[in-house]
Amino acid sequence: MGGTVVPEDAPDRGAVILDRLFADARRRRCVTHVEHVPARIGTRLPWPVWADPVLVSRLRAVGIDEPWTHQVHAAEHAHGGRSVVLATGTASGKSLGYLMPVLSVLLAQASARALYLAPTKALAHDQLRAVRALNLTGVRAATYDGDTSASERDWVRAHATFVLTNPDMLHHGVLPSHRRWAAFLRGLRYVVVDECHGYRGVFGSHVAHVLRRLRRVAARYGSTPVFVLASATVSDPGRSAGRLTGLDVEVVDDDASPRGATRFVLYEPPLVTSWRPPASAVVAPTPGGMGPEGHGESPIHGHNGAPVRRSATAEASDLLADLVTDGVRTLVFVRSRRAAEVVAQSARRALSDVSRDLADRVAAYRAGYLPEERRALEADLRSGRLLGVAATNALELGVDVTGLDAAIITGYPGTLASLWQQAGRAGRNGQGAVAVLVARDDPLDTYLVHHQEAVFGRPVEATVLDPDNPYVLGPHLECAAAELPLTEADFDLFGPAARTTVDDLVRRGRLRRRPAGWYWTHRYRPDVDIRGVGGAPVRIVEASTGRLLGTVDAATSHSTVHRGAVYLHQGSFYVVIELDLDVAVAFVEADTPDWTTWARELTDIKVLDVARSRTVGEVELQLGTVEVSSQVVAYQRRQIVTGRVVGEEPLDLPPRHLRTRAVWYTVTDGLLAEAEIDEDDVPGAVHAAEHAAIGILPLFATCDRWDIGGVSTALHPDTGRTTVFVYDGHPGGAGFAERGFLRGEPWLRATRDVIAACECTAGCPSCVQSPKCGNGNEPLDKPAARRLLETVLRRLDPAGPGRDTPS
């Protein structure tokens, strides 16, 4: 809450951990760079004169003698009625910046109310624990989320003065029932939006309209709340916060909190040699070892003859096991629920050879667990009973866990903001710490660990969201009309596209025009999924017992819980025996496979319109609207440690259609000839260039490679040329393709660089192979892709600077 205090004589624990972790020569060879982030001294200011004296005394009692400078500056803005975004680093005490004005007004005015929004339940419950620990009898704080019982919800509406919830519950539970919340909304003084940098892409656009709807409904009850936003360090936080709320927002981004020194390691797993783990192994080898990989052993080659690099999850499992053996409290961040289970299980198996007690002090933490499971894990992590946790980004956010020594980031998380947020979870007690980015076998990760200036030498990116996306705006206008009839005055609130969108909704019979405004025409509520995935979640049920194990969203169910897919829950393996899309249920049975599964998807694309275009000689770069048709047609079984394909099975799933935005470039036959690419080699060249471009675009846009897709063809019917497409994987687009268009030259130059720098000869997952390729990564021609990109770049930027740093 108050931020970390670093003792002057604090030992550099990070240096000690680093020396022990990389004492092994084989592991040291995987280190491409170590960045020393120095310690920093903090600066304080006196408590504001308006801060409630009881609150100040309670904060002093828990060790906060005075607030940091940035906390006071943000609090003064909020107290003065000015919406503000506080954008500072992890563990800088952002929560005190908003709690000072919020709790002071709640203690001073019995009718005052405040709303807190967090992107995860864990964060909201953590904030509730912190507020209740202050023992302020004048503040009645409570969470309101999917875990809140019906009787508790009634109490919250009637009595709570500080409600902690999430955008989903605000959208589904509060705004549609605003009349039941009338007293709360009438007294609403503050709205806190925590971790607001996470509201990006389609989800961020949805949340932007949920907040506009909140402002509209609050105004109906006579309140104009001040918005206080907390963000990680991002580029242009004021603009991002303004687009999110629709308000003018003050900015406080000068971090005055102290911090301990951090050793930040960039780490590339080794190529797998002729050593192989036992056939039954699905885990990493014992702590300290990566198998008998000597200098004289030759690399294993996987699919299409590409060299196989050891997986990031297997490497992270080893690192976790070694750190726990040394008593180092460690968080491992992974990209998926499955990976969290695999890493934790692998480390536990490795540790069981050392100590059963140590093995029991490692766990996985991810979405999909039952509420009581999550609360128990959070308590064990805070208390120190757990030494190691493998987690999805559910623990990236500001859950207050002190005393952590190390953070392992398994694969680049998609943005620098998230990277630093995850790395900052270590060292939160003010001691030195270690952060390790373990690269996946992926173009972007490979680029970053070999170009440290792209990690440490550039500003954090801006948050990308597009509230004017018609696929987002239209449904929220329907929701707004169902809450209160729309009027002309509302169009300014919802943006410049609101009036034309309302007219379209009237033509489609979704809204009806009356003298008093526009009305929702149906008895039922509009069905809007703000997570942007569409459809009801698919439940995962154990066939033999009927036990509900978890859920996955509808959009990813075709690729994650298809027939034959491997699913992990609490360390146990299951195999899907049936996916029933009609009832949204995947039936599974327990199993112990030594392989995992990867879905194969075929994709086609049609150009609907061109919004922007740039032509330079034989190269045309364009941005526009496309329709993408995709179908999961098969799945591969792959060994867990090496990723080698050991089998493939067909699937019969229906196609899906997506209208979205894309960026694409086309080239002429003459340019292909200049690049010395024969007609037969064109498909492999553009396919390889497409994969690498998808992998590297997240360096220029706040997205993940799984947020975007691509198609390449030697002759596309809509362009009449050889064409490479990269598209947003969300209806209506999310702004990622537009960012690619605006940063075309540096994006393609970085794509060329990652291909040129890769040590393989014919292509591998580090450069041109893709984990989600619908054609099994065939054909791919790495040398031709490099020549193609070099020739394209000579047209787009004849000056040809050596390297661009993304902005």
Rounded mean pLDDT of 552-573? 84
State the pLDDT confidence band at 373, using cuts at 50, 70 and 90: confident
- The Cα 260–Cα 258 span in angstroms is 7
Closest Cα to residue 336, out of 449, 440, 463, 232?
440
Checking if the pLDDT of 800 tops 70, the result is no
Instruction: Reply yes or no on whether the pLDDT at 430 is more than 50.
Output: yes
Query: Which stretches of 268-376 are assigned E, i.e. beta strand?
Result: 330-333, 362-365
Residue found by looking up tokens 């039922």 in the block: 524
- Eight-state DSSP code of residue 656: E
pLDDT digits over 286-317, tens only?
233 322 223 233 344 454 455 678 999 999 99
**What value does the mean pLDDT take over residues 704-711?**
84
- Structure token digits, residue 310: 């050891």
**Higher pLDDT pick, 800 / 228:** 228
pLDDT in tens, 485-524: 999 999 999 999 999 999 999 999 999 999 999 999 998 9
What average pLDDT is seen over the chain? 87
* pLDDT band (50, 70, 90) for residue 397: low
Mean pLDDT, residues 408-435 taken together: 84
Q: For position 344, what pLDDT does the model report?
A: 95
**Beta pairing, strands 84-87 & 250-252:** parallel
Q: Which pLDDT score is estimated for 770?
A: 83
Using pLDDT thresholds of 50, 70 and 90, give the confidence band for residue 665: very high
| Region 96-120 average pLDDT | 97
Give the rounded percent of residues in the chain with a pLDDT score beyond 70: 89
Strands (DSSP E) along 160-231, which ranges?
162-165, 188-193, 226-231
Mean pLDDT within 182-197: 96
Q: For residue 172, what pLDDT is reported?
A: 95
pLDDT of 284 strictly over 90: no
Does position 603 have pLDDT exceeding 80, yes or no?
yes
Token couple for 479: 């929701």
Per residue in 461-494, pLDDT (tens digit) is 777 778 888 888 999 999 999 999 999 999 999 9
Least confidently predicted of 58-72, 406-420, 613-627: 406-420
Of residues 600, 609, 599, 659, the one with CA closest to residue 629: 659
**283 has a pLDDT exceeding 50:** no
φ/ψ (deg, to 5) at 569: -145, 120
Mean pLDDT throughout 715-732? 94
**pLDDT attached to residue 177:** 96
Mean local confidence (pLDDT), 706-710: 86
E strand or H helix at 330? strand 330-333
The tens digit of pLDDT for each residue in 139-158 reads 999 999 988 999 999 999 99
Strand ranges (E), 144-225: 162-165, 188-193
Distance CA 614, CA 618 (A): 11
Per-residue pLDDT at 216 = 98
H helices then E strands: how many in the chain? Answer: 27, 27
Distance, C-alpha 568 to centroid of its chain: 21
Say if residue 409's pLDDT is above 90.
yes
Per-residue pLDDT, 652: 93
Give 321-369 pLDDT, tens digit per residue. 999 999 999 999 998 888 899 999 999 999 998 899 999 999 998 766 7
Cβ(505)–Cβ(477) under 8 Å? yes
Answer whether 678's CB lies under 8 Å from 789's CB.
no
Rounded CA-CA distance 303/768 in Å is 13
Cis peptide bond N-terminal to 515, omega within 30: no
Question: Among 75-79, 100-104, 392-396, which stretch is predicted with the lowest mean pLDDT?
Answer: 392-396
Q: Per residue in 641-663, pLDDT tens?
A: 666 788 999 999 999 888 999 99
Residue 86: pLDDT band by 50, 70, 90 thresholds?
very high
Phi, psi of 366 (to 5 degrees): -155, 165
pLDDT band at 765 (very low <50, low <70, confident <90, very high): confident
Q: Which of 35-44, 146-155, 370-379 has the lowest mean pLDDT?
A: 370-379
Rounded to 10 degrees, the C-alpha dihedral 398/96/197/417 comes to: -60
Of 147-151, 190-194, 207-211, which range is least confident?
147-151
Query: According to the model, what pLDDT value does residue 282 have?
Result: 32
Distance CA 474, CA 516 (A): 20
Instruction: Count other C-beta atoms under 10 Å from residue 140's C-beta.
Output: 15
For residue 673, what pLDDT is reported?
97
DSSP state of 524: S
How many Å apart are CA 422 and CA 397, to the nearest integer? 8
